[in-house]
Amino acid sequence: MPELPEVETTIRGLNILINKKVIKIITNTKKLRYNIPSNISYKFKDQKIISTERIAKYILINFFNNLTLIIHLGMSGRLKVTKSSYVENKHDHVIILFGNGYKLIFNDPRKFGFIDIAATLELNQKKYISSLGVDALSIKFNTKYMYTKIKNSAVPIKQILLNQYIVSGIGNIYACEILYDAKISPLIQGKDLNINQIRLIIKSAKKILKKAISYGGSSIKDYRSSDGTLGNFQSNFKVYGKEGQKVSKFEIIKIVQYGRATFYCPGLQKEQNSN
């Protein structure tokens, strides 16, 4: 699934479409995870994009008519921007044509993504946005905030980082990398983390996510940026997908938590609280 760095990379690739006018919208399917709004063409035809932005893993394309096109990439979705000759793929579900020849294509083989429309000033009325925790790159994601959220939690910290209602944008790959960077076990429960450990996790989260963005995200299976290039942060993974390899003399192992693979190095990521 595209995580925060991949979504941020996608957003930056969409900026080439700012001030471009929509000429036509083609929908090749009625439903992804949810129904595609039937009035999507009516709402955006002849409208120009004014800006693009990200909230957590949601892509927001804002138009001059004060409407926003909301896109979630789901498990395998991607947005493609092209100005060259274009051969339609069977998984190209929505195609937006612009007056100067650009095309924006939403491709999603597994159809777990979705598209929605909202008034730009009323985005927070969408429950899937209003219920989100603070963004992982926000200044609001700080030690005080995190401590109040997890001080009584019996949930392992790895699962807490994946909880979009607490902190939004972090997925499975980056949670593993963040905890390795902080040298904290994914098994420690929230209530057992001290203030210094929480501070280290937040510092590592912002460090890893920013570095991943600078590398264009991680291309593990399906992800490519909007211009078709592959991300390269996977070459910087320290533990994810490295089961059996060693860091110094310590082995990286793979376990399953809440149905998700966790990669970590027990020799370096201790389970005890280091008060």
Amino acid letter, residue 192: D
**Active-site position among 54, 57, 224, 242:** 57
User: E strand or H helix at 168, and its extent?
Assistant: strand 167-168
- Nearest alpha carbon to residue 89 among 76, 72, 71: 76
**Active-site position among 109, 243, 260, 266:** 260
3 is catalytic: yes
Q: How many CB atoms lie within 10 A of CB 2?
A: 28
57 is catalytic: yes
Token pair in block for residue 274:
């280091």
144 is catalytic: no
260 is catalytic: yes
Cβ(13)–Cβ(226) below 8 Å: yes
- CA distance linking residue 50 with residue 21, whole number of Å: 10
- CA distance linking residue 122 with residue 119, whole number of Å: 5
Active-site residues, by number, are: 2-3, 57, 260
